[in-house]
Each structure stands twice: as C-alpha cells, then as structure tokens.
Amino acid sequence: MQMQQKKIKGFTLLELLVVISIIGIVSTLGFTPFQKWRSDRIARAGAVKVSSVIQDIYSQVQRGHYSFAQFRIHSESDGDKKTWFISSYGMETERFMILVRDKYDDSNNKKEFHEFETRCKSDLPWDDQGHGDEKSKKLTVASYEIEDKLSLGVPGVGSLAEGTVCFSNDGSYYAAGGMFLDSCGEDESGCKPSVIEELYICQAEGGAAACSLTTGQKNFYSIKWSRFGNIEMQKLN
C-alpha cells in the first residue's frame, strides 16, 4: 500500500519580508525608550554610589570611629583622559585633638585649621584615606570612580575643580574647600563664607565640563547634605 505524501508548504518571500519589516519597526520603536532608560539607570547608579560614600563617612563619625572626617571630589589625569573620584578620609581623636589644641603660630596668628576658609585641605594628616593610601584597607573609608558617561557640577560654579567638605561629630568644625567653598567677594560686605551643600550628577553630553541647570543636560540628579549628615538625593526635571 502506497502512503500518500504530505505537502509541506514554507514561507513565501513576501511573507518573510513582511515579518522582517515588522520586527524592524518594533525594534526601532523600542530602541529610543531603552536608551533613555539605560542612560537614566547609569546616572542614578552613580548618584546612589556618590550619596552612599557621603552617608557612610558621616555614619563613621557618628559611630565614633573618627572625630573628624572629609569627603572629597578630585580627579586624576592619564594623557588626555581625566577620571573623577569621590573619596572619604578619617581622622581619629588623638590626631584631631592635636590640631584643635595647636591654635596659634609663633606670631600669635591662627593656624589654617582654625580658619574656616583654610581648614578643609586635602593634605591634612589623615589616619585613614579612601584614596591614595594603598596600605589602608579599612572599610570605614572609601573611594569611588565616577562613570565616564557622567558629569558633575556644583550650583553657581561654572567649571569642575577639586572640592572638599570636612566635619566633626558635633558639627563645630564644619568647613569646605575648593568648589564647595562659597567665598565672599570684595563687594559683599557683611557676607560670611559658607559651604555649598549640593552636588549635581548628570549624563555627560557634548563634552560639557560641568552639570548645570541652565544647559538642559539629561538624567539630572541632585545630592544635598547638611553639617549633621542629613543626605537627600532626588532627580531633577
């Protein structure tokens, strides 16, 4: 008995072209939202990490691990490439009290540590350094490399430079340096220097040097803090 052969029908060229066209259209429509989501995720992850470094060093001071601490925005250059970091540093009680007691120089002038505008230097005698000290492996300090697809910024500061913020557990030695120091100009009579308590993180576009609310940069995050360590992160539209 002879078995009846089944007819196997495949796709026609036209059907294949229609399916490929539909896949292409769907992929095109989904690509832009995916790219936006991915860019925002990178910016948010960077903001969360930076916020964590600041929060962690404040916590170490409140727990008594350090009597004085600092977080610092700084860069390293390798040829034409510049890499930005946020790092934390800690000073134990003994070393901190030496600085507190050593108030005047031989001319009876206050030393740098006792002046608001010069207190928060990056080369203070830290016990633990999150960056630049390979011997220190303590988890109480940290250093985080900023993603190269991101940019940073400070309100009112047009270009990026090193910036530092220092604080003690009672807030009495709160100070800043570099781009976080809001100094008084010559025409600002009665003004007192203060700390700029906000840092921007955004998607880097077009080689922009710094995040600014006036340039229309995308995926824009703000990190705010106070002298007592109240950290607030939010996305800005």
Residue 208 has pLDDT above 70, yes or no: no
The CA-based angle 195-66-200, given to 5 degrees, is 35
Q: Do the Cβ atoms of 69 and 60 come closer than 8 Å?
A: yes
pLDDT at 207: 55
Residue 154 has pLDDT above 70, yes or no: yes
Residue 187 has pLDDT above 60, yes or no: no
List pLDDT tens digits, range 44-66: 999 999 999 999 999 999 999 99
List pLDDT tens digits, range 62-117: 999 999 999 999 988 887 788 899 999 999 999 999 999 999 988 888 999 999 99
Q: Do the Cβ atoms of 230 and 215 come closer than 8 Å?
A: no
pLDDT average, residue stretch 1-24: 66
Mark residue 9 as left, alpha or beta (left: phi above 0; alpha: psi -120 to 50; beta: remaining): beta
Q: What percent of the chain stands above pLDDT 90?
A: 48
Say which residue, 237 or 104, is predicted with more confidence: 104
Q: Do the Cβ atoms of 183 and 207 come closer than 8 Å?
A: no
pTM as predicted: 0.81
The pLDDT-based confidence of 183 (bands split at 50, 70, 90) is confident
**Token couple for 174:** 């709160």
Q: Where are the domains positioned within the chain?
A: 45-148+157-199
pLDDT average, residue stretch 173-179: 94
Residue 139 has pLDDT above 80, yes or no: yes
Say which residue, 158 or 95, is predicted with more confidence: 95
98, 166, 188, 206 from 228: Cα distances, Å: 23, 11, 28, 37
Average pLDDT in the chain: 84
Task: Burial-class residue 50 by CB neighbours within 10 Å (0-12, 13-18, 19+).
Answer: buried
Distance CA 143, CA 54 (A): 10
Classify each residue of 4-21 as buried b or exposed e, where b means 16 or more C-beta atoms within 10 Å of its C-beta. Answer: eeeeeeeeeeeeeeeeee
The pLDDT-based confidence of 6 (bands split at 50, 70, 90) is low
Amino acid at 153: G
